Amino acid sequence: MRHEVGPYLITPLLLVLVFSGIAGLIISLYLLKYKRSTGLIYLALMQFGTAAWAFFYGLEYAATSLSLKIFWSKLSYLGIVFTPVFFYLFSLHFASKHAAITRKLKIGLFSLASIFLLLVLTNDLHFLHWASYSINPEFNTTNYEYGILFWLVFMFCYTLLFLSIINIVSLIFEFPENFHTQIILLTMACIFPVVGNLMYIFNVSPVPGFDWTPIFFVFSGLALTFMNVRYGTFDLVPIARNKFLDMLPDGIAVVDRHQRIVDVNPAFLRLTQQDRNDILGKSLVTAFPKVKSLMEQLAPKEILEPIELDAEIHGETIYFDLRITPLYDPKNNLSGQLITLRDITEKTVYEQKINQTNQQLKQEIEEKEKLIADLDAFDHTVAHDLKNIIGAIVTSTDLIQSEVEQQNFQDLGEIIELIQLSANKSLHVIKELLTLASVRQQDVKSEPVDMLRVFEESEKRLADMIKTSEATIIKPKDWPSAYGYGPWIEEVWVNFLSNAIKYGGKPPVIELGSTQFYSEKKIRYWIKDNGDGLSPAKQKKLFRKYERFNQSQIEGTGLGLSIVKRIVEKLGGDVGVISNAIPGEGCIFYFTLPQD
């Protein structure tokens, strides 16, 4: 059944080509709804190319003049040379060989296809594609005598078609058995256009000279669409990867056995602040340049425990949990690794805060335990001293009352002096207790301290004691400044100076000085007396317990050195004593403070 409409002949085969082109266009538009999947965009473009091929070839087949046939035949090469390119790119994406889809590959394929198209369009100038052509009057088809360029185009297209089929068939060895049916059907659909084109090239078609390739390509598109609706093939393979992996908050990267990155999901790029094109096909150290040595150690290993990494991103420290899962081929050979990157910053920071809080609690507990131990050791001494002091006061008041009743006022002065002495001792004990409490509870800000002025204030407080003991104090010409808190350091000097007077020679000769430790940025202040010194056993008891050596001769609570230790440690320094226990050489007591 034929009808001529102008220079065109309407036949059933023309209608098949037209309907094939319409079907290809519909399939292309249908696939575009999956535009988020790059692989399906390639498949949609392939179907668009086959639709154009079918339409133009239909016009060539329907044309009744040779010039029109050649004109539409040239335009049909828009689909012929580009359709295999899109199909090959789709197969690479479908087989998850994303690293192979490089910018250079796409530029090379499209450039080569464009050159072939240009040579076809200019065939009248060189006749390298078709050496000659004529019309078969019986079937209204075009007979061609092919030139060398045609076979180059043939090799180009068939190479891409066979590589595409290989990419898809290889999935059988990588996917579970429940995917094999879909893959086999997909492979069969890919073979249809090849069969149609071979029928045309080798002239074994039922209609001599008629090219079934565009119809079979459209038929393949229908088959692929059916598989998508029936089996959800696209949803299960490339789209599952895009929708599932892309939605994961964890970063996913696949590396081959040479530690080259072949695929990543958006989360991986976001977590590492990398660009996809910058790391695909590159070594794993590209994503982790700051831990290059660690990444290089991963290559020979097959099983690794989770590794915690940290990185500086936009000035913020981000913590990662890096997990490596080995990937094996069907022969159980290591073919690559799956890298899972999880942002554990919130968890790590929370744990750090917990650890910091625990450390603070531990320090507070240790501080309280020290205080309890101090108070346990101190209560005996203080209780005994206060008992004696209060007992002396009570006894003195009884004596005053008795003397007054007897009108005997001669001894009242001595009794009153005894009461004053006892009261002063009580005030001293109370003041030391208050100082200990303030050092423990109060937080102060360290600032530069004028050590000469602080020491002179200490001298004023002990002026009577210095005068009574006839002590000689040798001070340095220069006092280097350190960081601390003046009122507390004054208490340190008062304790050290009073002890030097109490335990020094008769009369006391006291020398003061300082030593700078430039490398540690610290200053040590020291005070030396001329007493009998301390044995190693007694030195160990200093700064720890409330000890008073020579208690029969020396008055005091034994609390002073403990206060000194608390003050200096809270200011970031340390205290100590140096003595050889040689009479006359005495002791050197020192405390160290930061210089800045």
SS (HEC) of 264-326: ECHHHHHHHCCCHHHHCCCEHHHCCHHHHHHHHHHCCCCCCCCEEEEEEECCEEEEEEEEEEE
What average pLDDT does range 286-302 have in this prediction? 59
Quote the pLDDT of residue 398.
75
In contact, 95 and 68? CB cutoff 8 Å: no
Residue 262 vs residue 152, higher pLDDT = 152
- State the Cα–Cα distance between residues 317 and 111, nearest whole angstrom: 46
- Lowest mean per-residue pLDDT among 11-15, 140-144, 350-354, 544-548: 544-548
Give the pLDDT band of residue 475 (cuts 50, 70, 90): very high
Share of the chain above pLDDT 90, in %: 17
Q: How far is CA 474 from CA 238, 499, 510, 534, 590, in A?
A: 88, 16, 6, 22, 16
Give Cα 486 distance to the centre of its chain.
44
Any idea which residue has 């037209």 for tokens? Answer: 18
Give the pLDDT band of residue 386 (cuts 50, 70, 90): low
Residue 326 vs residue 113, higher pLDDT = 113
Q: Is the pLDDT of residue 576 over 60?
A: yes
- State the Cα–Cα distance between residues 52 and 18, nearest whole angstrom: 10
Strand pairing class (447-449; 472-474): unpaired
- CB half-sphere exposure, 131, CA atoms < 13 A: 5
In sequence order, the β-bridge partners of residue 338 are 254, 325
What average pLDDT does range 532-546 have in this prediction? 77
Quote the pLDDT of residue 164.
84
Tens digits of per-residue pLDDT, 401-455?
777 777 776 767 777 777 776 676 666 666 666 665 666 556 678 899 999 999 9
Tens digits of per-residue pLDDT, 154-175?
899 889 988 888 887 776 665 5
For every residue of 387-439, which 3-state class applies, written as one string? HHHHHHHHHHHHHHHHHHHCCCCCCHHHHHHHHHHHHHHHHHHHHHHHHHHHH
What is the pTM assigned to this prediction? Answer: 0.44
Residue 36 vs residue 359, higher pLDDT = 359
- State the Cα–Cα distance between residues 265 and 54, nearest whole angstrom: 38
Question: E strand or H helix at 496, and its extent?
Answer: helix 486-503
Count Cβ atoms below 10 Å from residue 43 Cβ, excluding itself.
28
Q: Is the pLDDT of residue 550 over 80?
A: no
In contact, 48 and 85? CB cutoff 8 Å: no
- State the Cα–Cα distance between residues 421 and 168, nearest whole angstrom: 104
Quote the pLDDT of residue 81.
92
In contact, 507 and 531? CB cutoff 8 Å: no
Quote the pLDDT of residue 105.
92
Burial of 124 (0-12, 13-18, 19+ CB in 10 A): exposed
Q: Is the pLDDT of residue 464 over 90?
A: no
Quote the pLDDT of residue 168.
75
Which of 19, 14, 6, 1 lies closest to 141, judged by CA? Answer: 14
Angle at 150 between CA 145 and CA 152, to 5 degrees: 145
Q: How far is CA 6 from CA 12, 17, 449, 551, in A?
A: 17, 19, 110, 134
Strand pairing class (588-594; 8-10): unpaired
Any idea which residue has 């464009």 for tokens? Answer: 114
Three-class secondary structure of residue 140 per DSSP: coil
Which strands, in side-by-side order, build the sheet including 316-328?
261-264, 251-256, 334-343, 316-328, 307-313
Share of the chain above pLDDT 70, in %: 70
Report CA Rg, the chain: 49
Tens digits of per-residue pLDDT, 91-118?
887 777 777 888 899 999 999 999 999 9
Give the pLDDT band of residue 235 (cuts 50, 70, 90): very low
Q: Is the pLDDT of residue 529 over 90?
A: yes
- State the Cα–Cα distance between residues 72 and 65, nearest whole angstrom: 11
Give the pLDDT band of residue 356 (cuts 50, 70, 90): confident
Quote the pLDDT of residue 553.
40
Give the pLDDT band of residue 239 (cuts 50, 70, 90): very low
Counting every residue written for the chain, the total comes to: 596
What average pLDDT does range 553-575 have in this prediction? 73
Quote the pLDDT of residue 497.
92
Quote the pLDDT of residue 554.
37
In sequence order, the β-bridge partners of residue 576 are 590
- State the Cα–Cα distance between residues 375 and 383, nearest whole angstrom: 11
Angle at 285 between CA 283 and CA 290, to 5 degrees: 165
Tens digits of per-residue pLDDT, 26-84?
777 777 765 555 667 887 888 888 888 778 878 888 888 889 989 988 998 998 899 88
For every residue of 447-491, which 3-state class applies, written as one string? EEECHHHHHHHHHHHCHHHHHHHCCEEECCCCCCCEEECHHHHHH
Close Cβ partners of 456 (under 8 Å, ≥ 6 residues apart): none
What average pLDDT does range 583-591 have in this prediction? 92
Q: Is the pLDDT of residue 549 over 60?
A: no
What average pLDDT does range 118-137 have in this prediction? 90
Quote the pLDDT of residue 107.
93
- Lowest mean per-residue pLDDT among 59-63, 213-217, 415-419, 506-510: 213-217
Any idea which residue has 């997990």 for tokens? Answer: 323
What average pLDDT does range 175-196 have in this prediction? 63
Residue 483 vs residue 170, higher pLDDT = 483
- State the Cα–Cα distance between residues 190 and 219, nearest whole angstrom: 10
Give the pLDDT band of residue 128 (cuts 50, 70, 90): very high
Quote the pLDDT of residue 122.
94
Quote the pLDDT of residue 493.
92
- Mean pLDDT, the chain, whole residue set: 77
